[in-house]
Every structure is written in C-alpha cells, then in structure tokens.
Amino acid sequence: MTATPPTDPAAALAAFAITDRWPPRDPSAIQLYSFPTPNGVKVSIALEELGLRYDAHKVDIRSGDQTTPEFLSLNPNNKIPAIIDPAGPDGRPMALWESGAILIYLAEKTGRLVPADAAGRYEVLQWLMFQMGGVGPLFGQLGFFYALGGRDIEDPRPRERYIAEASRLLQVLEARLQGREWVAGDGFSIADIALAPWVRSLRDFYKAGEVTGLDRLSHVPAWLTRFLDRPAVQRGLVQPTRD
C-alpha cells in the first residue's frame, strides 16, 4: 500500500533535518538555502523572474554554516544553494542541490526561461553547461589566484593559466552575443541567469576586467548591463541578505 504524501506543507518540511536549524517562515513556499555568491544568486534571480514564492534562508559560508550536520543532511557536497519545494513532482516535497539542476527544475516546473521546443531547449542547456563546466570553475580559480588567497603565491603559472582561460571563455561569449540580445534560445533564459552573475563577479568582486580583456569587449558588457537592469535580477541579487 502506497503512503499518501502529507497535505500539510509544514508537516512535509518537518521531515527534513535542515528545517531544525532554518525553520520555514512560509511552509508553503519554496525553501531556499543560499548566500549571495555567483552560484547562490542564480537561484534567487530565477525565483524572482518566475514569480515563485520562496523563503530565503542565509547559509553563511563565512562562518561555516554549509558544513553543519543540518545543511549536510540536504546537500552532502556542502555547497550552496539548495532548495526544498514542498509542492514538488506528484505533490511530494522535492529537495535539490547544484545550481544548474535547480535552474532546470524551476524552468521546467513553470514552463518558462527555457524554450518549449527540443532544439531551443538543448541550445539553452548547452550554454548552461558552458557555465557549469567552464565559466564557473575557471572564473572561481582566477578569483582565488588573482584577487584572493592565492595571489601571494610566488609561482606565476596558476595565475597566468586562469587569466588566459578566463580571457578565452569571455571571447567565446563575446562571439556568441554578436547580433544577439541574450545568450540562447529566443530570449532571456536560464543560460543568462547562470552566466551573468559570474561575469559580474569577475568584473566587480575580483576586479579582473582589465587583466582578462573584459574591459575591451563590447557585446559582453552590454549584455551584462541589460541583465543587471532587470528588476527581478536586482531583487534576486540581494537574497538572502548578507547581514
């Protein structure tokens, strides 16, 4: 006999240990566990763009919240962001981690931010994977060796490698955006939501716009400005708040 899923969102969420540390304020909303990093704001921006109700909980990575037993019970990889959707597939709660997977889930849940046709969908997904497998990891390593703890390492080879690769990836994006307003599909999509926060971080947080050649590009900066001008993006960039 198959058990009937709980109809009470609060009861459904209570089964997740993470809610002991971060109690839901609105049990019927998507529970977001995050911090405003490039990966974190991908999900809050998507939630804002889609108009989905969500309850943003700050997982303060500066103090190690992501390594607590409660957070690890949801994401064993101890990385933000993660979500619980109390109204997941078949009405059951859906717990999910990895920002790219969450973006796909939210887009498919609502039928938005990804094209309905197969060709358009896979075009968006390939650019999402371009971010997940290339831009995110490489920009993150550049930030470490150029602007953060690794900048004091005397061996210049790691820094030079990541500057060169970040420059190459920006050139790929620059070529893609020639004659296009958004990266993939017929309009704004989860590909833009995945990529733009990393380019913003490269420019504003790592201060690497000059060394990577970003300052000398035209299409990428214009696209980033269009992205940052969107009201939903502006709201999502500050959820959850750092303070």
Q: Identify the structural domains of the chain with CATH numbers, from first to last.
A: 9-113 (3.40.30.10), 118-234 (1.20.1050.10)
State the Cα torsion 41-175-219-36 to the nearest 10°. 10
pLDDT value at 133 more than 90 = yes
Q: Please state, as a whole number, how many other Cβ atoms lie within 10 Å of the Cβ of residue 62.
A: 7
pLDDT value at 141 more than 50 = yes
The DSSP call for residue 151 is: G
Say if CB 51 and CB 104 are below 8 A apart: no
Question: Which amino acid is it at 230?
Answer: R
Predicted TM-score (pTM) above 0.85:
yes
pLDDT tier at 146, thresholds 50, 70, 90: very high
- Give the pair of three-digit tokens for residue 197: 């926060």
Question: Which amino acid is it at 113?
Answer: L
Would you state the pLDDT for residue 167?
Answer: 97
Is residue 106 packed enough to be buried (19+ CB in 10 Å), middle (13-18) or exposed (0-12)?
Answer: buried
**Average pLDDT score over residue span 67-76:** 96
Would you state the pLDDT for residue 1?
Answer: 39
**Average pLDDT score over residue span 82-109:** 96
